[in-house]
Amino acid sequence: MTFAVARPDGLAPLRSIARFDTDRRTALGGCSPAVHPGTLRFLILLAFLVGCGSTSTSAKRARPTTGGIAGLAHDHDSRDPVAKAQIRVRASEHAPPRTTLSSDRGLYDIQLLAPGRYTVTALFAGQPIEIRNVEVRAGEITMVDLMFTLGRPEPIRLDYDAPAGSEIDRYRPRHLTGAVALIEGTVNDTTTRQRVPGAVVTAVHGDDIASTQQTVSDEQGRYRFEALRPGVYSISAYYSISGRGQIEVRRSGITVDAAEAVVVPLWIEMTR
């Protein structure tokens, strides 16, 4: 008979801690020889340490070496998602491109990209979009939204590094009635231009503190306030960083008309 200690890493068990054949068992009257408690504790500890070492090695091997590009394809005027947009990501003119189609919800995602700068191009209904200098970092997803102007198919060419992205934009969704408004946007890092998930975003109507609403930016750094009453708003976002405390950004005097949606980008200085 063999007593074995199972290894937590799923490999073969360690050496048996007691073994005896049928003849010896018979000679002992069917009784198993005792295993010294110290030996048993040592072998169990050894098995634990081997498993921990294996886990540590696996963690080191799992260090990411690639990143990705993802985002949302949608129409500027309606903000409706654009499905089946042809999207291509290329590191250089001579490198083979990576291609995909936006989903029914307008989402796309291209993973396993080597760190570096890429050009993202998209095509839908005859309208091309080109966004240059999109930086990909290992272990990170760079969010790049693709905004088409359906019905106005002029080419759109942008530089991801350009000092833009803070402009307030407006559109009129079909589903909004004349009694309500909407404010949405993204929270972004001013240095890396990466989206910031988990930021607490606050909307205050005029000086009416009682009407304050709060939400948290999602995993793509987006936030949204629905069913707002028209008026003038202040939008702020704060984020807690270890060693720096709480950082905050605020934009005030944002007028929102009835049946209107206002896009308010928020930029936070995450690093110094």
Grade residue 141 by pLDDT with cuts at 50, 70 and 90.
very high
| Residue environment code for 200-234, b if the CB has 16+ CB neighbours within 10 A, otherwise e | bbbbbbeeeeeeeeebebeeebbbebeebebeebb
- Check residue 48 and give its pLDDT: 63
Residue 247 lies in a domain: yes
Tell me the residue type at 154: E
Model pLDDT for residues 30-67, shown as the tens digit of each residue: 444 555 666 666 666 666 666 655 555 555 568 899 99
Grade residue 26 by pLDDT with cuts at 50, 70 and 90.
very low
* CATH number of the domain within which 91 lies: 2.60.40.1120
Residues 107 and 151 in one domain: yes
Residue 28 lies in a domain: no
Residues 86 and 137 in one domain: yes
Grade residue 11 by pLDDT with cuts at 50, 70 and 90.
very low
- Check residue 205 and give its pLDDT: 95
Q: How many domains does the chain have?
A: 3
Residues 41 and 69 in one domain: no
Residue 16 lies in a domain: no
Domain final residue pick, 162, 196, 228:
162
Residue 220 lies in a domain: yes
Residue 204 lies in a domain: yes
Residue 27 pLDDT greater than 70, yes or no: no
Name the residue range of residue 183's domain: 166-272
Residue 21 lies in a domain: no
Residue 78 lies in a domain: yes
